[in-house]
Chains A and B, each alone.
Chain A
Amino acid sequence: MALSEKQIPMSVQVGDTLPERELTPDNVQLFLYNAALWNAHRIHFDEPYAREVEGYPGLVIAGPMLGDWLNQCVEEWLGDNGRLVSIEYSNRAASYIGETLVSGGSVIEVDPASGAVRIDVFIRNAAGEVVTPGVATAVLDT
């Protein structure tokens, strides 16, 4: 085989899906996350405030924590076969403590020459609504 014909050890194809993961964050996890950041926004830990003052149905899961789970989804799928090089996402709808969320994704583009793959990623709630859509780019080891 010619040197230019690099091989992707992990055979990845457009349409491949990433393993889904169920996420059930609780108050303790949300507290520790915001403490690790130094984020004192009451909507994440003061339930009477979140409900009565801000009008939320419960404690709001921090947006960047949802984003972090998209990163984890891609990295767990990659394992030692590549690296995450970029990710973009948006927090489209709020999620609350008590909800069961699912992270997952699917491959939308593969460039065999460079080993670059683009992956659609999502956090979905129990109603099937995508609350945090995103797109990640990874490079597979060639």
Chain B
Amino acid sequence: MTNLLSDELLATIGRQSTPHRELVTRRDIRKYAIATGNRQRKYLDGDQAPPMFHVALFWDVVELDELTPDGVSIDSLLPKFPLERAMAGGLKIDYFKPVYPGDWLTATRTLTNIYEKHGRSGPLIFYEVDMQIVNDAGEPVIREQTTRILR
């Protein structure tokens, strides 16, 4: 029973981002490892990227006027939802290959699902985004599946 999700909204399922290619650098790995309090030397020295470094590598670098007053950048992959307050989200990450400085990685994000549920406190909208990260040989390096809940 769907009443929040219009056909127009549901038609955005399958929408895909432009592939985003980035270079992994030792300096960026070091910043990430230090900021997360990592204690392993290979990461602190930037010899290898720690798990979840891809979060920093593929965070949108937007210009100041593209940020909302609360400092958030608009995710152009997403349609405008009838509910806007973000609740807890979940993540599943598969690591296929280690990441080293000098690697070029390409991420492609797909909006894979939108659905609603009716909780005790009212309706909830769930959406899922699948990010596939590959190297220049086209081999899978990381896959990240995100589920977010709006109320």
Interface of A toward B, CB cutoff 8 Å: 23, 25, 29, 32-33, 35-43, 46, 49, 53-54, 63-65, 67-69, 71-72, 75-76, 83-93
Cβ–Cβ contact A85 & B94, under 8 A: yes
Chain A contacts of B73 at CB under 8 A? Answer: 40
- Complex: A33 Cα to B38 Cα, angstroms: 12
Q: Beyond the given A38-B60, A49-B70, A84-B51, please list 13 additional residue pairs across the A-B interface where CB-CB is below 8 A.
A: A36-B32, A37-B55, A38-B56, A38-B59, A54-B70, A65-B36, A69-B37, A71-B52, A72-B36, A86-B93, A88-B92, A89-B90, A90-B91
| B95 beta carbon closer than 8 Å to chain A | yes
Cβ–Cβ contact A86 & B94, under 8 A: yes
Cβ–Cβ contact A39 & B59, under 8 A: yes
Chain A contacts of B52 at CB under 8 A? Answer: 64, 67-68, 71
- Complex: A101 Cα to B71 Cα, angstroms: 26
Chain B contacts of A89 at CB under 8 A? Answer: 90-91
Q: Which 4 interchain pairs have the tightest Cβ spacing?
A: A40-B71, A90-B90, A88-B92, A32-B35
Interface size on B, residues (CB 8 A): 32
- Complex: A88 Cα to B147 Cα, angstroms: 11
| B34 beta carbon closer than 8 Å to chain A | yes
Cβ–Cβ contact A40 & B93, under 8 A: no
Chain B contacts of A38 at CB under 8 A? Answer: 56, 59-62
Cβ–Cβ contact B93 & A87, under 8 A: yes
Chain A contacts of B62 at CB under 8 A? Answer: 38
Identify which of residues 85-104 in chain B touch chain A, using a CB-to-CB cut-off of 8 Å: 88-95
Chain A contacts of B37 at CB under 8 A? Answer: 23, 25, 29, 69, 72
